A and B are shown apart, each in its own frame.
Chain A
């Protein structure tokens, strides 16, 4: 991943970065002008017997004018910097999302979303600071010392030379220190995070701790750990602060040297009083932008790291999927023909040259221990992955030839811990069919056992209940209700094929029964795959299959009425 890729992320904001640094520059130059004005005023007062009252209005007028320029520049700078931020945020998010769309659910499945969320939230935030604050300041810090150099060179060349020679030393020492500090800080942050997570863990486990009367003891342990951590932190801090102090002393040392030169120059008469004032005020100004850059340095480094991650994500290889004929399937028979599949050449194959027919309208139970590859069947059917060789056809058309949108309308998947989105129950159902009316939604809920039975009132008893809020991630529903709502959503979609992959895998036993009933009461015309390691879920399936040595095989043993294997 090159620097180019990083800069590429800021595409579109380059103009505003330039404008922003121009404003910083104008502000800096205006400061020099202010200093010169004040110096001139003092100089005139000291040398000539000028008319004070005629001089004062001129002085105040000019000062006000510059003041106005400075204020406007400050204001504009922040609005330009806002534009950078807005652009960066919007652009990068948009690109991340478009990338996700192209990568597809298989990628989401295998990589998880944690990294993605980190990229889209913190990564974008860090980049925003990098482009919005760090870059303009960087450009400004590169330009302004030379301006200051020219201004002071005309007054006192020795001063200007000393100052300029000091300028590169500061950022160099800054980089060295930050490199050194980063190494030791890493350990510190890990410890710090460890302590926070210990606190969090104890809070979350407080009921257990209380039941065993161990909360006091854990608190004491936490205390002593925190104290040990405090001591090592302060140790580290001492070293780190020492290095920062060295840098500070360096900055002030150089400024002090400049000031000393100015006093000396004034004493021996090389510089006039007004020139002395200019040198005095500008000697500090030489290092200010660089110090400010230093305070942003950490943010800058973070931004670069985040940018690398985001750019690396954007460069992830995308699966190629070009529907060949875009034929529509006729019927919904599913046929595996000599299918081989593995996730990675380094991993053992899940399927090797296996063939199997699934005529439509059957309930197929897929059994097997976890890790045997049962879930792969569903993923292949839904086109998350394509077979490495062989073909899977749906209604006579190879799955790879069916446009994904079509495919997902005809085949749907419900997994354990389905996502419910913040909004109403209706919003969640309408994900499947945006224009569904209340009656359709209610009947889907009924089918999924959400409406309650007998006297018990379910989650969705009438159409008013469709407007109930689900809360963030469905937090206002119980785990079983979430799962049943997800099934109602699938029922509403009314596909030809349902794949239930451990759909009752993480719910209480009551919901498990309801879900089981729902699945087995789906219309007989539907093809249903039930992937589960729980025998009770599979009991009643028309055919019981498993994956053995890369082949889809009929379970040798059929189920007895009691749900036990013979």
Chain B
């Protein structure tokens, strides 16, 4: 939770750039935005018009003594249309928000897809994901509730100024500074003051929330050590601190509300004060005075809604910054595509991957993992890599899958540089099996079929049988239609691992990399899976990394480094 707020507020210029870039994203949905804004503007005008036209009617009565039908009809139209206009405003507003949410998610997914797996290996995937989720929601708020109000907040006052000018130009001149004050000065000041306090509060809030979550989740441990009391006191203290910084925010809000009241009434006082003078001097009549008095009080609506937006803008800027950073991030390996010359797409693996004096330093960390490593894997045999932990056994597998490129030296496949192979095709030729199997919340059948969509049911059953999970799946009430639950929660880690194995069997690749395949399993499951692996992988080229002697036992060759 902390990650979200560690970044200090960006300089204003940088933030402005972010907002411009965000606004550009709306381009494909321009028409919807225009519709939403138009509905919103007319909606506001009809609210103002209701009392405004009544005032005009009164003015007509004063001057002509007649009941002004047009003015009354106009007021009635305002009453009738108000609901419909609001309908349009919200309808189009939601539509835009929805489409943009969709666009942003797509962009992020594409970015993550480009960056994975290298970028996701060292960072905690869950962290990135939850941050991204929250950021997307935050940016969506910007489109749904910020952009249109800003446009409306600019246009409505301009229209109102021209109405005032039509009555008497001086009235427009009187109102102008108040509109500027309310629409420009107050939001900017509030933005600036709330940026600092808001940041402080959010930091304190997120600190408190994570403290709360952590201590509640660890309650049992705390109770075991008789420490719950002192921890919970700490949380209450933090709640107090958090309240204290919240107080500043509320106090700013209160001040802001007071300032808004003062500006509105001051505008009314100015218009009516000067207006009275115009009436006395005969340059305006009493009907005009009534009208401007009413309009001056009712026309601030669209501006007031701007003031309280600034709070969320600070968050939006930070969220947008993170999202764009993700979208702009360069992947660590370049994929060859078919347009470039020499890209290999259609191939059979004749020679297993080998390393040629490879050096590898983890990008970003500078941690040197591999130094001048050369190794050759024998075809159609099971090879185990053996090394002390931390020496880069798994890294060798990463390099074979081209999650990363070696810092120096080359990885070779079929006598060609691994970089020449199209990544999708490479991954279609080599299977990679890790200690954790990710299941999606779809049926077991579909989960296994992820490895080969064209597989028949029989083929899926067969792979599941090879993986030793077929009978278990059949024993479930819904059999292969059982959904795996969120993150595969319906299955134990041993079951998940066996389903993962079924995928590997179904994928039927010639080269298979196993990275700690049974590390998370108990001995029963371990034995079962190793047996199934040994039988199922007969005649394949297998590279194996494991810590357990019992796993290494199945290897034909062992390479130590």
A interacts with B: yes
A475 — which chain B residues lie within 8 A by C-beta? 124, 127
B75 — which chain A residues lie within 8 A by C-beta? 256, 259-260
A249 x B117 contact (CB < 8 A): no
Q: Find residues 409-458 in chain A having any chain B CB closer than 8 Å to their own CB.
A: 409, 412-413, 418-419, 421-422, 431-432, 456
- Chain B contact residues: over half helix, strand or loop, or mixed? helix
B223 x A104 contact (CB < 8 A): yes
B440 — which chain A residues lie within 8 A by C-beta? 201-202, 205
B290 — which chain A residues lie within 8 A by C-beta? 42, 273, 276-277
Given contacts A56-B273, A535-B523, contact A280 B286 (CB under 8 A): no
The answer to the question of B357 belonging to the interface, with a C-beta cut-off of 8 Å to chain A, is no
The answer to the question of B232 belonging to the interface, with a C-beta cut-off of 8 Å to chain A, is yes
Please choose the segment from B7-15, B91-99, B531-539 that sits at the chain A interface, where 4 or more of its residues have CB less than 8 A away.
Answer: B91-99
B255 — which chain A residues lie within 8 A by C-beta? 75
Q: Give a binary string over A235-270; 1 marks a CB under 8 Å from any B CB, 0 the rest.
A: 001100110111111001101100110110011000
Given contacts A45-B280, A241-B90, contact A472 B246 (CB under 8 A): no
Given contacts A74-B257, A108-B219, contact A85 B243 (CB under 8 A): yes
A71 x B54 contact (CB < 8 A): no
Most buried by B among A71, A247, A506, A509: A509
Chain A interface extent, by class: 35 or more
Partner of A200, one of B133, B273, B522: B133
The answer to the question of B293 belonging to the interface, with a C-beta cut-off of 8 Å to chain A, is yes
The answer for the CA separation of A421 and B522 in the assembled complex, in Å, is 27
Q: Give a binary string over A45-63; 1 marks a CB under 8 Å from any B CB, 0 the rest.
A: 1100000100110011001
The answer for the CA separation of A214 and B447 in the assembled complex, in Å, is 11
Please choose the segment from B206-214, B346-354, B466-474 that sits at the chain A interface, where 4 or more of its residues have CB less than 8 A away.
Answer: B206-214
- Write the nearest CB–CB distance from B559 to chain A, whole angstroms: 19
A-B contact pairs, 19 of them (CB 8 A): A38-B272, A45-B279, A75-B254, A75-B258, A90-B236, A113-B219, A198-B441, A206-B125, A211-B432, A213-B424, A230-B102, A241-B86, A244-B86, A246-B83, A252-B50, A263-B58, A277-B293, A408-B225, A419-B214
B450 x A212 contact (CB < 8 A): yes
The answer for the CA separation of A253 and B268 in the assembled complex, in Å, is 26
The answer for the CA separation of A546 and B124 in the assembled complex, in Å, is 39
The answer for the CA separation of A216 and B106 in the assembled complex, in Å, is 11
Q: A78-B251, A234-B91 are in contact. List 10 more A-B contacts (CB 8 A).
A: A63-B268, A79-B251, A82-B250, A86-B243, A199-B105, A200-B129, A211-B431, A226-B105, A238-B91, A422-B214
Most buried by B among A79, A237, A256: A256
A326 — which chain B residues lie within 8 A by C-beta? none
Q: Give a binary string over A192-220; 1 marks a CB under 8 Å from any B CB, 0 the rest.
A: 00001111111111111111111111010
Given contacts A418-B221, A493-B225, contact A79 B286 (CB under 8 A): no
B102 x A226 contact (CB < 8 A): yes
The answer to the question of B45 belonging to the interface, with a C-beta cut-off of 8 Å to chain A, is no
B216 x A113 contact (CB < 8 A): yes
B223 x A108 contact (CB < 8 A): yes
Q: Give a binary string over B416-452; 1 marks a CB under 8 Å from any A CB, 0 the rest.
A: 0000000010011001100101101100000000110
Please choose the segment from B157-165, B259-267, B360-368, B369-377 that sits at the chain A interface, where 4 or more of its residues have CB less than 8 A away.
Answer: B259-267
B268 — which chain A residues lie within 8 A by C-beta? 34, 38, 63
The answer to the question of A67 belonging to the interface, with a C-beta cut-off of 8 Å to chain B, is yes
B247 x A86 contact (CB < 8 A): yes
B276 x A249 contact (CB < 8 A): no
The answer to the question of A516 belonging to the interface, with a C-beta cut-off of 8 Å to chain B, is no
The answer for the CA separation of A121 and B225 in the assembled complex, in Å, is 25
The answer for the CA separation of A419 and B435 in the assembled complex, in Å, is 22
The answer for the CA separation of A105 and B216 in the assembled complex, in Å, is 11
- Write the nearest CB–CB distance from A128 to chain B, whole angstroms: 10
Given contacts A45-B289, A109-B220, contact A215 B113 (CB under 8 A): yes
B450 x A208 contact (CB < 8 A): yes
Partner of B294, one of A203, A263, A280, A509: A280
The residue of chain A having its C-beta at the shortest distance from the C-beta of B230 within the complex is: A434
B109 x A203 contact (CB < 8 A): yes
The answer to the question of A223 belonging to the interface, with a C-beta cut-off of 8 Å to chain B, is yes
- Chain A contact residues: over half helix, strand or loop, or mixed? helix
The answer to the question of A97 belonging to the interface, with a C-beta cut-off of 8 Å to chain B, is yes
The answer to the question of A473 belonging to the interface, with a C-beta cut-off of 8 Å to chain B, is yes
The answer for the CA separation of A263 and B61 in the assembled complex, in Å, is 9
Q: Find residues 455-487 in chain A having any chain B CB closer than 8 Å to their own CB.
A: 456, 472-473, 475, 486
B125 — which chain A residues lie within 8 A by C-beta? 203-204, 206-207
The answer for the CA separation of A94 and B297 in the assembled complex, in Å, is 46
The answer to the question of A520 belonging to the interface, with a C-beta cut-off of 8 Å to chain B, is no
B258 — which chain A residues lie within 8 A by C-beta? 70-72, 74-75
Q: Find residues 289-308 in chain B having any chain A CB closer than 8 Å to their own CB.
A: 289-290, 293-294, 297-298
A120 — which chain B residues lie within 8 A by C-beta? 212, 216
B61 x A267 contact (CB < 8 A): yes
Given contacts A238-B91, A277-B290, contact A208 B438 (CB under 8 A): yes
Partner of B217, one of A46, A100, A419, A493: A419
Partner of A94, one of B236, B298, B522: B236
- Write the nearest CB–CB distance from A276 to chain B, whole angstroms: 6
B58 x A266 contact (CB < 8 A): yes
A206 x B227 contact (CB < 8 A): no
B55 — which chain A residues lie within 8 A by C-beta? 280
Given contacts A284-B51, A419-B221, contact A472 B438 (CB under 8 A): no
The answer for the CA separation of A492 and B488 in the assembled complex, in Å, is 37
The answer to the question of A147 belonging to the interface, with a C-beta cut-off of 8 Å to chain B, is no
- Write the nearest CB–CB distance from B543 to chain A, whole angstroms: 15
A93 x B109 contact (CB < 8 A): no
The residue of chain A having its C-beta at the shortest distance from the C-beta of B133 within the complex is: A200
- Write the nearest CB–CB distance from B379 to chain A, whole angstroms: 22
Q: Find residues 11-59 in chain A having any chain B CB closer than 8 Å to their own CB.
A: 34, 38, 41-42, 45-46, 52, 55-56, 59
The residue of chain B having its C-beta at the shortest distance from the C-beta of A420 within the complex is: B218
B112 — which chain A residues lie within 8 A by C-beta? 203, 206
- Write the nearest CB–CB distance from A328 to chain B, whole angstroms: 16
The answer to the question of A292 belonging to the interface, with a C-beta cut-off of 8 Å to chain B, is no
B217 x A113 contact (CB < 8 A): yes
B214 x A212 contact (CB < 8 A): no
A259 — which chain B residues lie within 8 A by C-beta? 50-51, 54, 75
A105 x B547 contact (CB < 8 A): no
The answer to the question of B454 belonging to the interface, with a C-beta cut-off of 8 Å to chain A, is no
A281 — which chain B residues lie within 8 A by C-beta? 51, 294, 297
